[in-house]
């Protein structure tokens, strides 16, 4: 019974790691697509209007870059580099 339990736990762990790996790859693909869409929207001069972005702009213009970056990431789900670049474009 002990060996069967260990085998079951090992198989469950391997399956869980496989699922996490696939989710991680899917998250990266989604982020890549979102970045490409953002570039296309920028090129076309389109803006996604989110009322909370006014807070980001205000923080950035007040020189509060770190809170602005944090707020930008919360609103958009962007990564740190992308958020930093976006806030620097605002200023």
- pLDDT tens for each residue of 20-65: 888 888 888 988 898 899 889 889 988 777 888 999 999 999 999 9
Q: Is the pLDDT of residue 10 over 90?
A: no
Q: Residue 57: its pLDDT value, please?
A: 93
Q: Residue 65: its pLDDT value, please?
A: 95
Q: How far apart are CA 53 and CA 32, in angstroms?
A: 22
Radius of gyration of the chain (CA): 20
Q: Residue 1: its pLDDT value, please?
A: 54
The pLDDT of 63-79, averaged and rounded, is 93
């Amino acid at each position: 019974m002990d060996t069967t339990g260990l085998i079951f736990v090992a198989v469950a762990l391997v399956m869980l790691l496989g699922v996490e790996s696939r989710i991680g790859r899917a998250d990266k693909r989604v982020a890549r697509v979102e970045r490409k869409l953002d570039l296309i929207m920028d090129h076309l001069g389109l803006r996604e209007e989110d009322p909370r972005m006014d807070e980001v702009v205000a923080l950035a213009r007040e020189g509060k870059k770190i809170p602005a970056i944090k707020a930008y990431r919360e609103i958009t789900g962007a990564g740190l580099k992308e958020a930093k670049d976006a806030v620097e474009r605002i200023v």
